[in-house]
Structure 1
Amino acid sequence: MSSEIAPHIWLPEPKLAFHPDRVSDRHVHPLRGLLNFGPHSAGLVPTPIRVATLAPATEGNRLYEFMRELNAAFKPSERRDYLPEWPGFQRVFGLHMRGAGTGCHIELEPQFESEFLESEKPHITLADRLLRAIQSLEGRRNEFDVLFIYLPQRWAKGFNSFNDEDFDLHDHLKAATAARRLPIQVVREDRALSYPCRASVMWRIGLALYVKAGGVPWKLADVDSDTAYIGISYAVRPPASDLPRFVTCCSQVFDADGSGLEFVAYDAHEVDIQRENPFLSRAEMFRVMTRSLDLYRRRHAGKSPRRVMVHKTTEFKEDEIDGAMEALHLCEAVDLVQVIEDTNWRGIRIESGGQGKKKGMPAAFPVSRGTLIGLSGREALLWTHGNVQGIKENGSYFQGSRSTPRPIRLVRHAGHGPWDGTANAVLALSKMNWNNDGLYDPLPVTLGYAKVLARVVKRMPGLGSAPYQFRFFM
């Protein structure tokens, strides 16, 4: 048996589209694309975006000042090789944002501070008080679009529990407000108000605000048409919960444009646990795939996709494969792909010589993002993290600028053919996180979103049958 691996190929950096019709409005850099062309959904989001606020006593003005910053210009003081200047919210997105009307701005009572300090369970005290304040705004829901919630650092001991409770304040608030179809933006003092690089903060919050108000900043420019991309993640409720312990959370069903604004989630009853990982029965997998396919058809005038690609982080068991194939029998091609983030593989670039570079020496930059090595017809290595050309005005760009990037391992449990199409879809979907100002994420958004959704959904008391919009969970 040979110890050699297959030659590698390189997939170019996927482009993003910033207009539904003009093919010229494309760019590999999401933020520069926004600056050059504006958002994909330009003109479709009502202006102005109206922001309600919730803050500690006497500190509502800190949120007002923060909102004014969103309309100002800032030069980056970090990630200068990637982050462009923030020119103001209106310049980027083409619409205004302002504070909502009187009655949409709440400050907690001064006595809450002493109640919080004296509480034996400060996380419960804080969460309950914030939720009561949020409930008081429900009568004015038609007067604002997004709610900003300011959390000062002195409340940090209420952000998580420090015992066996599975509690996270951010996820707890999202679970409660998502059920009310109310988009919120948590504004922490340490991560937003006091963070030194104001351009970085404005890009992150500005993007989030636009999406939570219903906007689409960009879509994928070049992926296979008539293909649906589905991500599956599982959530586990605490043992003390009287609700079903396992929740199957299916992330957005992304179409060929990378557009997936809704997702389905439901309680799973037929679950087999192996090595702490849940696996679905044939009937449960059939159920989740059928609901996912229905979601795609609803957005495409009843038409089924020609091809479906399903991602999850654990292997596909035989029952899961059978259930998926039964549900997707009308599709011409079905790919069931396990995406493994934690691998032992590493790779370094070696100079080939020329232009003053000594042949055989390690290169100054790591393996290029988009490098693909097929290990077999069933497995391949893909570098979703690595060196990228065309981001800086000249030279290479390595996001994070540290460590040796490791590839993700793709394991195909169903499907066949070259790895190029499968890997290119994963690479493109790694650029579809609208809740991040970076060039890409390590994982495709099918799995990145699914993890976020699962974390929040398991805290919701009831799931219902209607699809959810992801903007309520961001």
Structure 2
Amino acid sequence: MSSRIQSHIAFPEPLLAFHPDRASDRETHPLRGLLRFGPHSKGLVPDPIRVATIAPHGESGRLYDFMKQLNSSHQPIERREYLPEWPGFHRVFGLHMKGAGGACHVELDSSVEGEFQDSSTPQIVLADRLVRAVQALETRRPDFDVLFIYLPQRWEAGFVGKAGDDFDLHDHLKAATAARRLPIQIVREDKALSYPCRASVMWRVGLALYAKAGGVPWKLADVDPETAYIGISYAQRPVESDRPRFVTCCSQVFDAEGSGLEFVAYDAHEFDLQRDNPFLSRTEMFRVMTRSMDLYRRRHAGRTPRRVMVHKTTEFKREEVDGCMEALHLCEAVDLVQIVESVGWRGVRIDPQGGATRGAAAGYPVARGTLVGLSPRECLLWTHGDVRGISDRGAYFQGSRSTPVPLRLVRHAGHGTWDDAARAVLALSKMDWNNDALYDPLPVTLGYSKVLARVVKRMRGLGSAPYQFRFFM
């Protein structure tokens, strides 16, 4: 028996589309594409985007100054091989952003500072005051589009709970505002107001603001128009909670262009717990997939996709496979793919040039998009690595640190080569509109579902209606 693994193949960097009709408006670099072509949904988002604010007592001015910076230009001082100049919000997105009317700006009472300092649970004090401020703005909801909430660094003790306390202020606020269908942007002093690279901050916040106002910055360019992508994740509530322990969060059902603006979630009741991971019964998985397909058909004039790819981080047990197949029986092809992040594999790129150094490790890592087959059911895919055509220097390695770790893809249902499944994972890693990076290590099917599950588990009533993702970003 040979111990040699299969030869590798390399997929090109996926293209992004910046216009619904013009095939020429394509680019691998998301920010460069926005500068060249404008956003995909140009002209479809109300102009201007009106911003409401919540700030500490006497500090609204700092938030207003920050908002003004979004309309100014800034040169990058970090990631210069990737990050372009920020030319101002209007230049990037083709519309304006401004502060909403005067009644849409709230300052917390000055007494918050004393209560916060004196309390043994400052996170509870802070969360309560901020949620009450949000409630005060609800009557003004028709007058603004997105809410900015400013958190100074001196409140850091209230951002998370103490050891063993399952509390996160960010997720708590997202849960409270998502239930009210209100998109928010949390503006932290350390990560936004005082962060040295203003261009980096403006790109991140500008992208998030546009998406939270209902915009679509870009979509995928070259994908099968009859394939749907689904990501499944689970969140665990504390044992002492009076609600079901696990919430099943089905991430957006992404269509062929990678655009998924809604998702479904519900409490899981029938599952087998192994290694602190829930594995759904056939009935529960059937419910998840059926609701996902209903969501897809509602967005696609009743049409059923020809092919469905389902991603999750744990293996698909036999009952889960059967539940998927029963719910997706109208689809011609179903791929159930487990995506494993923590693997022991590493790859080193060998310099192919001759001379004394022939066979030595190259000065840059394995190329992003490299796939190595391990068996008919498993392969390694590098979603993190060297990318060409991004930097003027040739090679671009996002982060420029450590040896990139591949993802291990395990197929529990499906046939054929790994090409389609691997291309999909690679392309979907570029669909996070809440990030200015070239890509994420995970496809958005799993990246989003993890975020959604973390927030959804804190919501009191899930309901049966789909949620828009922009309320959870």
The TM-score normalised by the length of structure 2 is 0.99
Q: Give the deviation of 1:357 after TM superposition.
A: 8.4
Cα distance between partner residues in 2 of 1:314 and 1:89: 41
> Residue 375 of structure 1: SS of its match in structure 2?
strand
Residues 16-35 of structure 1 aligned to structure 2 (within 5 Å): 16-35=16-35
CA separation of 1:230 and 1:357: change in aligned 2, threshold 3 A: farther
Residues 65-464 of structure 1 aligned to structure 2 (within 5 Å): 65-353=65-353, 358-464=357-463
> Residue 252 of structure 1: SS of its match in structure 2?
coil
Cα distance between partner residues in 2 of 1:225 and 1:181: 30
Cα distance between partner residues in 1 of 2:356 and 2:179: 58
Cα distance between partner residues in 1 of 2:246 and 2:275: 15
Matched to 1:388, the amino acid is V
Matched to 1:229, the amino acid is Y
Q: Give the deviation of 1:282 after TM superposition.
A: 0.2
Cα distance between partner residues in 1 of 2:133 and 2:153: 19
Q: Give the deviation of 1:115 after TM superposition.
A: 0.9
Percentage identity across paired residues of the two chains: 76
Q: CA RMSD in A?
A: 0.8
Matched to 1:132, the amino acid is R
Asked if the contact 1:351/1:363 (under 8 Å) is kept, the reply is: yes
Matched to 2:383, the amino acid is T
Matched to 1:272, the amino acid is D
Matched to 2:231, the amino acid is G
Cα distance between partner residues in 2 of 1:77 and 1:155: 28
Cα distance between partner residues in 2 of 1:357 and 1:266: 61
CA-to-aligned-CA distance 1:156-192 (integer Å, 9 cap, x gap): 0000111322000000000000000000000000000
CA-to-aligned-CA distance 1:11-37 (integer Å, 9 cap, x gap): 000000000000000000000000000
> Residue 211 of structure 2: SS of its match in structure 1?
helix
> Residue 423 of structure 2: SS of its match in structure 1?
helix
Shifted more, 303-312 versus 393-402: the winner is: 393-402
CA-to-aligned-CA distance 1:287-327 (integer Å, 9 cap, x gap): 00000000000010000000000000000000000000000
The TM-score normalised by the length of structure 1 is 0.99
> Residue 79 of structure 1: SS of its match in structure 2?
coil
> Residue 390 of structure 1: SS of its match in structure 2?
strand
Cα distance between partner residues in 1 of 2:29 and 2:356: 29
Cα distance between partner residues in 2 of 1:72 and 1:398: 29
The list of structure 1 runs, each at least 4 consecutive aligned residues, that deviate by more than 2 angstroms after superposition, is none
Cα distance between partner residues in 2 of 1:288 and 1:413: 18
> Residue 40 of structure 2: SS of its match in structure 1?
coil
Asked if the contact 1:232/1:250 (under 8 Å) is kept, the reply is: yes
Equivalent residue number for residue 469 of structure 2:
470
Cα distance between partner residues in 1 of 2:216 and 2:12: 24
Shifted more, 386-395 versus 450-459: the winner is: 386-395
Matched to 1:175, the amino acid is A
Asked if the contact 1:229/1:446 (under 8 Å) is kept, the reply is: yes
CA-to-aligned-CA distance 1:89-144 (integer Å, 9 cap, x gap): 00000000000001000001111111111112100000000000100000000000
In the alignment of these two chains, the number of paired residues is 473
Q: Give the deviation of 1:358 after TM superposition.
A: 3.4
Matched to 2:152, the amino acid is P
